[in-house]
Structures are given as C-alpha cells and as structure tokens.
C-alpha cells in the first residue's frame, strides 16, 4: 500500500510517500524564515504560506521518488492527512488538499492524529527499510515539541492513553520564550543548546523546577518562564540581572527544563513499571537531552528510542504516512470524504485513533 501523506499542522508544509514503514519520498518546506522576525508562528502567515506551497510540495514529493512506476498520483493507493491537533487555519489547508486529491484521483482517505505521528516517528524507516526496529509493546512515550509535552502509554498499534500533559506551556515553547526574552530569535531550542554547550551545560542559576512535587505526571512551564523573566528584569522591571552572562543563563534555563523532563520521566517509569521509552518531537533534536535520557534509562536497564533521522524530530509527513499504513491494514479509512474536518481543539484529552 503506497500512501501519499500531508502534514500542515503548524509551520512546515510537508508531503511524503510511504510504503508501510518505509519512506520513499519526503519533502518539508519550512516557514521558519517567514515567522522568525515575529518571534513565533503567525497563523495568518502560516495559512497563506501553506496555500501557496502545497501544490509545489506535492509535485516535488512525487518527482523525488525517482521511480517511474510510482511517480504519479494514479499509482498511489491512499491519501493520508493530519487532522489535528495543530494550528486550525494551517490544518485546514492540508485537509482541503487531501480531500481534493482523494476525489480527483478516486483514492481512499485516512486521517491521522498528529501526536500518533510523532510517536511512530521512532519507527519510521528509510527507503531501504532501515533501521529495523521491532515493536516491543508496551512503551512509555514522551512527546516534547513546540506545541506538546505529553506522556502517552503506547499499548499496542493505534492504542494509546495520555497519562500526563503540560498544563500551560510546552517544553519547546518554554525554550522559545526564554530565547525571545534573551533576544536570541526563533526557534529558541537550537540556539539555547549551542550556547549551553559552550559553557559545559552547567546549571549556574538553579531556576525552579516546576511541578516536581506534584504526584501526577503533568507539567507546567509558564512559572519557570516568569521566574526567569523576573530574575533578569527584577520584579520592578528595572533590569536586576540584565548583564548576566547569556550563555550561563541559557544553560541554566535549559537544565531547569531538562531536569524537570528527566525527573518526571523517572516518575513515569516507576509508576508504569515500563522501561521501554520513546522520546519524540522537536526538542529531542537536542543532544544534551538525549544523553540525559540515555543515562536515565540505563539506570532502569531499559531502552530509549529516538527518531532515527533528524528530520523526523520536527514536523514531517513521513510519520503521518507510516501511521496511515497501520490504519489502512485495519481498514480505518474515512467513510465519507466530505465529513472530514479538523479537530477543533489544540490538544485532545482522550487520545484515540480517529
Ligand atoms: O516538533 P516541532 O518541530 O514542532 C511542533 O510540533 O511544535 O518542535 C519545534 C520545537 C521548538 O520549540 C524548538 O525550539 C524545539 O522544538 N527544538 C529544540 C531543538 N530543535 C528544535 N529544542 C531544543 N534543542 C534543539 N536542538
Ligand atoms: Zn509536531
């Protein structure tokens, strides 16, 4: 089953062609440069950029397969699309295009939850079928991105339960906001990682670790951002510590976020007694975090899986196509194409396969 998958959930226009877990072609047209000067994603700009680029990205994805047999939509078996959660006006562009293609070429349509996509990103393979990771259920999955910080029990294929979430800012969002406060631009994660590394990832300031005392698996990062802001500017906004070393600030902030993620993950391992870990989403591009996660899991004699290729950490359509492949095997196609709409909320309380 060859699937053409579309993801326009935030600020990347992405289309992929997949066959089971293999990616035959994947194109990601990033909008980062358009949003950079605003310090975050601007919905109206995202929508327009998706609309302007989606046809080009579909064509380019088909062209890049490089195999005459499947480089036309006629040779595709089904269309998959991210239904949500995500930025509403952005999601709608992908959904509209998927419906249009499904009708025009008479293809079946599969909708995919974006979070499912991130979870399966750890199992996506290249066109040669590598890496060959077997599924060893159950897994404890941690999704950490600009929009999400969630613990999910991944019990079996397409079978999940959310067991912890952020109550406010996501972990990537916290890094982005700290970078903005420091005048480092958007996105914040990569630049904070680089500056922190230059000072040995040392925790100089010991900022608060939110929610560590709570007995549940929820997170809250907005208080950390506020204390960071007050530390820098003083409660009275008079710039108490504005001249602090920026690398030390970045390193300390990153350590506060990561220490919280690690301690909560340890709590989740103990509560669930699962030591098979999946850590996915944009923030796991960070090598410091990967090391901390590896150190943690070795204490519990378990295994941690990250997305095997860097492009799979951020938003991409390959992971959506791979989920769609598993859904197709279970005949989970959309019954009435006209009924497919976006999920109206940013995050789902009940996380089930749509
Ligand atoms: O998964 P993603 O591309 O998009 C969302 O679905 O949100 O994640 C983007 C987030 C941003 O907050 C960005 O700052 C963060 O991932 N990020 C990183 C790194 N690269 C991207 N955070 C920490 N270290 C990185 N190297
Ligand atoms: Zn995402």
Structure tokens of 180?
Answer: 């903005």
Please give the Cα distance from 219 to 169 (Å, whole number).
Answer: 9
Are 127 and 218 found together in one domain? no
Radius of gyration of the chain (CA): 20
C-alpha of residue 74 to centroid of ligand 1, in Å: 35
Ligand 1, atom 10, lies closest to the CA of 146
Structure tokens of 95?
Answer: 């959904």
Alpha-carbon distance values, 61 to 69, 94, 124, 131, 312 (Å) = 14, 15, 17, 22, 16
DSSP state of 219: B
DSSP state of 125: B
Ligand in closest contact with the CA of 284: 1
Q: Are 306 and 290 in contact (CB under 8 A)?
A: yes
Are 291 and 324 found together in one domain? no
Are 267 and 290 found together in one domain? yes
Tell me the average confidence (pLDDT) per consecutive run of 10 residues in the chain, 354 residues long.
95 96 96 81 88 96 79 92 91 96 96 95 97 97 95 95 95 95 92 98 95 93 93 74 85 98 98 98 98 98 98 97 97 86 46 37
C-alpha of residue 172 to centroid of ligand 1, in Å: 5
C-alpha of residue 115 to centroid of ligand 2, in Å: 7
Which atom of ligand 1 approaches the CA of 170 most closely? 12
Tally of structural domains, the chain: 2
Query: Which of 121, 145, 260, 319 is the best mutation target for the ligand 1 pocket, counting ligand atoms within 8 Å of the beta carbon and taking the most?
Result: 145
Are 318 and 261 found together in one domain? no
CATH code of the domain in which 279 resides: 3.30.420.40
Residues with CB under 6 A from ligand 1: 10, 145-147, 172-173, 175-176, 187-190, 193, 281-283, 285-286, 314-315
Strand-strand pairing, 303-305 and 22-30 = unpaired
Q: Are 175 and 257 in contact (CB under 8 A)?
A: yes
pLDDT score recorded for residue 33: 84
What stretches of the chain adopt beta strand conformation (E)? 2-7, 12-19, 22-30, 78-84, 108-113, 139-144, 149-156, 159-165, 276-280, 303-305
Are 289 and 339 found together in one domain? no
Are 290 and 176 found together in one domain? yes
Are 190 and 223 found together in one domain? yes
pLDDT score recorded for residue 352: 39
Are 218 and 261 found together in one domain? yes
Are 74 and 98 found together in one domain? yes
Are 160 and 284 found together in one domain? yes
| Residue 166 lies in domain | 139-307
Are 145 and 283 found together in one domain? yes
């Amino acid at each position: 089953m060859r699937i053409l998958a579309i993801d326009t959930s935030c600020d990347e226009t992405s289309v992929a062609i997949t066959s089971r877990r293999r990616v035959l072609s994947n194109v990601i047209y990033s909008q980062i440069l358009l949003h950079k000067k605003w310090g975050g994603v601007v919905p109206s700009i995202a929508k327009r950029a998706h609309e302007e680029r989606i046809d080009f990205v579909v064509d380019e994805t088909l062209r890049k397969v490089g195999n005459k047999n499947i480089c036309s939509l006629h040779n595709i078996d089904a269309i998959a699309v991210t239904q949500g959660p995500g930025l509403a006006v952005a999601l709608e562009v992908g959904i509209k295009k998927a419906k249009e293609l499904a009708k025009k070429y008479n293809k079946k349509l599969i909708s995919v939850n974006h979070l499912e996509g991130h979870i399966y990103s750890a199992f996506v393979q290249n066109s040669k079928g590598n890496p060959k990771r077997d599924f060893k259920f159950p897994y404890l999955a941690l999704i950490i991105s600009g929009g999400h910080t969630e613990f999910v029990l991944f019990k079996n294929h397409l079978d999940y339960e959310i067991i912890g979430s952020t109550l406010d800012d996501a972990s990537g969002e916290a890094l982005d906001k700290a970078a903005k406060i420091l005048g480092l631009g958007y996105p914040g994660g990569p630049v904070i990682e680089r500056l922190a590394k230059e000072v040995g990832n040392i925790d100089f300031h010991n900022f608060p670790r939110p929610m560590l005392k709570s007995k549940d698996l929820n997170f809250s990062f907005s208080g950390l951002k506020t204390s960071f802001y007050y530390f820098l500017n003083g409660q009275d906004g008079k710039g108490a510590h504005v001249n602090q070393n920026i690398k030390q600030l970045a390193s300390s902030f990153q350590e506060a976020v990561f220490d919280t993620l690690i301690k909560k993950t340890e709590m989740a391992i103990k509560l669930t007694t699962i030591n098979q870990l999946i850590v996915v989403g944009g923030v796991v591009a960070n090598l410091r975090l990967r090391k901390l996660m590896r150190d943690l899991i070795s204490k519990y004699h378990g295994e941690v899986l990250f997305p095997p290729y860097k492009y799979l950490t951020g938003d991409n359509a390959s992971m959506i196509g791979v989920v769609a492949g598993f859904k197709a095997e279970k005949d989970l196609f959309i019954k009435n194409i006209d009924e497919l709409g976006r999920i109206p909320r940013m995050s789902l309380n009940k996380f089930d396969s749509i």
